[in-house]
Amino acid sequence: MPAASSYGSLLDALRGVTWPARRTIRGPAAGTHRSRQRGISPEFTEYRPYRQGDDPRRLDWKLLARTDRAFLRITNDRATLGTMLLLDASASMAFPLATQGKWMQSCRIAIGLAAVAHAAGDPVGVLVAGAGGIARLAPRTRRGVIAEAARMLESVAPEGRATLLPALSLVRPSQRIVLISDFLADDDDLLREARERITAGAEILAVHIVAREEIDPGVSAAIAVDPEQPDLRRSLADETREGYRGAFAQWRGELARAWRAAGAAFFEVTTDEGADHAIRRISSPGGVQARGK
């Protein structure tokens, strides 16, 4: 498992990276994201005539002195956005067993995104769904929360069968939600719940973690074993390997289309992609969502 001290180079590579919300948000605390609330921030938006009952502090007194007409200076306030990272810790995330590549990449993506959000003053929390239930780190802005998240992930070993659906039900709709999974265990129920939340105004990002060995199993891979159902085995002889590649590529494409049709931002991240590169893609408002090749 990754030690809490092993993310130093990743965090250094992410200094200065920002992660703006993909839509305007509602939030009572001052922050860096565009808010739906209008107020008295320095960022000017428009004027409108003063009406009885308006806050006189929002009057543009200089304009009143020049024109003898009362106008309010309307601005967009800024707010914080709580960010919850939901990680799949089912057995399939331990693939390949020799390196646990999918789980290691998931941890790097989660810690990197948490650090970027935390640097902007946003509360950051983590939920990990495993065979033993859900491990939870409540959203916090205090110093040390990134180290706490790293220690929490260090203590997790992917195993058994699990789904992100119960973890998603614990997240407030007003928070930004990042689902990090290989999506092998989750079904239409998770997608349906995510779609309902997006319709209600939530921001959801789905990060699909894929091992390079899944995309292109080498000739040394003679048998494919489902880690969550060990009795399910398939031969990968030369005559079946190409069929597997095509079917896996088709499934990945269908998965991406389904999540994007639901309104989520969907990113495929392979285990051999640099974590800092993937995090920059994910955190960019116009981030490249293309599948890994």
Q: What was the pLDDT predicted at 59?
A: 78
Residue type, 31: G
pLDDT digit string (tens) for 65-118? Answer: 888 888 876 655 546 789 999 999 999 999 999 999 999 999 999 999 999 999
Contact 73, 49 (CB under 8 A): no
Half-sphere exposure of 278 (CA within 13 A, CB side): 28
129, pLDDT greater than 80: yes
**Lowest mean pLDDT, pick from 49-53, 144-148, 248-252, 280-284:** 49-53
Task: Indicate the average pLDDT of the chain.
Answer: 83
Using CA atoms in the order 174, 122, 165, 159, what is the torsion angle rounded to 10 degrees?
A: 180
Placement of tokens 């990754």 in the chain: 2
147, pLDDT greater than 60: yes
Residue type, 104: M
Helix 101-119 vs helix 145-154: crossing angle, to nearest 10: 170
Please give the average per-residue pLDDT across 210-223, as a whole number.
76
* Sign of the alpha-carbon torsion through 220, 222, 228, 231: negative
DSSP secondary structure, 213-269, as one string = HHHS--TT--EEEETTEEEEEEE--HHHHHHHHHHHHHHHHHHHHHHHHTT-EEEEE
122, pLDDT greater than 70: yes
| The overall pTM is greater than 0.85 | no
The model's confidence at residue 40, banded by pLDDT at 50, 70 and 90, is very low
Task: Tell me the C-alpha to C-alpha distance, in Å, between residue 250 and each of 181, 256, 270.
Answer: 18, 10, 16
Say how far apart CA 72 and CA 59 lie, in whole Å. Answer: 4
225, pLDDT greater than 90: no
Say how far apart CA 221 and CA 6 lie, in whole Å. Answer: 31
Helix (H) or strand (E) holding 33: strand 33-49
Nearest of 197, 184, 226 to residue 89 by alpha carbon: 184
125, pLDDT greater than 80: yes
Contact 264, 206 (CB under 8 A): yes
Say how far apart CA 89 and CA 273 lie, in whole Å. Answer: 20
Domains and CATH numbers, the chain: 4-16+81-283 (3.40.50.410), 33-79 (no CATH)
204, pLDDT greater than 90: yes
Say how far apart CA 292 and CA 192 lie, in whole Å. Answer: 25
Q: What was the pLDDT predicted at 100?
A: 95
pLDDT digit string (tens) for 255-284? Answer: 999 999 999 999 999 999 999 999 999 999
- Please, what is the Cα angle at 161 between 157 and 167, to 5 degrees? 80
